[in-house]
Amino acid sequence: MTELIKPRRLRAGARIGIVNPAYWLESERMQRAVKVFQELGYELLLGNSAALEQGQFAGTPQERAQDIMAMFTEPSVEAIICARGGYGGNRVLPLLDYGVIRDNPKIFVGYSDITGFLNSFAQRSGLISFHGPMLSTFGKQTMQYNLDTFQAVLSGEKKIRVASAPGCPARSLKPGIAKGPLWGGNLTLVIERLGTADQIDTSGSILLLEDIDEKLYAFERMMLHHKRSGSLDHIRGLVIGEMLEMGDSKTPFGKTTDEIVLDVCGDLDIPIISNFPCGHGDYQATLPIAHEIEVHSGDDESFILIPESPVS
């Protein structure tokens, strides 16, 4: 991996570019989210993909890639936020110019299918990116927790303590404190990279995993796949985000997501937090990918500390 680059901090009144790397976002939710950012004093520039529809996708892979590259090379744009996730980023990633991205480092925020972009930007360009809320989040409702963590992390504050949200209390599965660069994101997208040139080097890292709408047996299968691949052997900590809409079968699987995590990872001598607000739920913390964090897992409280600012 190349040397890491911190993007410039998000200034008050900054111009933010909006891209759709995967699915398109409904106009009503898009406009509501735009208004949220405008009321905060930001100026938004909607990319070409915001108006494109090709089936479920916001245009062809080529059109989505061109839109992302246009935002990185547009001098007036200081940060880039994805409109939503979905599926399809794997078609876009090979079409990006990672050298140009490295030469034009900017804040880039998203989650879910955007996991591929966040990790690839760090791996191929050295750019620290951010697992955090998208326009689809703010187009649904405005949670003060999301706004507060978003602005604190991206504005350049130091020693940021990212606590769990009142409506999403984190649980300590194994106590302890660990420090390391944060990698990962959506479990399905992380598993997708195993055995490819884009597989994440998790050695010495804090690993973040979250997912939605999976069967409990499928979640265990993915966790076991992760374990048997060796990707969990040398991690220093594990953060499990909200696991929402995890379905059961006609015959109950017999284990919760927490129990599955402990069955698979309980033998690892690392702190483990679950139900942290960094997935598909209403509460979404902004967390820096490839940047060093500390995970604090305890019976009284579990939180993430970002000692040094991930932006310059």
Which residues are within 8 A (CB) of 17 and not within 5 positions of it... i.e. 6 or more apart? 44, 45, 47, 71, 74, 77, 79, 80, 81
Q: Is residue 311 part of a domain?
A: no
Do both 165 and 289 map to the same domain? yes
**273 pLDDT more than 80:** yes
Rounded Cα distance between 122 and 101, Å, is 10
Rounded Cα distance between 152 and 286, Å, is 9
Mean of the per-residue pLDDT values of the chain = 97
Rounded Cα distance between 290 and 2, Å, is 11
Domain around 96:
15-142
Which uninterrupted H or E stretch holds 292? strand 292-297
Domain count, the chain: 2
Measured in whole angstroms, the distance separating CA 262 from the mean position of its chain's CA atoms is 23
pLDDT of residue 1: 59
CATH of the domain at 36: 3.40.50.10740
In the predicted model, what is the mean pLDDT of residues 87-96?
A: 97
**286 pLDDT more than 70:** yes
**238 pLDDT more than 90:** yes
**Nearest one of 50, 31, 6, 1 to 158, comparing CA atoms:** 6
Q: Is residue 6 part of a domain?
A: no
Do both 211 and 107 map to the same domain? no
- pLDDT per residue over 118-148, tens digit each? 999 999 999 999 999 999 999 999 999 999 9
Q: What is the CA radius of gyration of the chain?
A: 18
Do both 125 and 175 map to the same domain? no
**2 pLDDT more than 90:** no
pLDDT of residue 54: 96
Whether this prediction's pTM lies above 0.75 is answered by: yes
Q: Contact at 8 Å (CB) between 276 and 133?
A: no
**Nearest one of 215, 260, 216, 253 to 238, comparing CA atoms:** 260
- Surface-to-core class of residue 217, CB atoms within 10 Å of its CB (0-12 exposed, 13-18 middle, 19+ buried): middle
Q: Is residue 260 part of a domain?
A: yes
In the predicted model, what is the mean pLDDT of residues 59-63?
A: 98
Rounded Cα distance between 54 and 42, Å, is 29
Q: Which two tokens stand for residue 288?
A: 């820096």
Q: Is residue 181 part of a domain?
A: yes
Q: Is residue 5 part of a domain?
A: no
**62 pLDDT more than 80:** yes
DSSP 43-55: EEEE-GGGG--BT
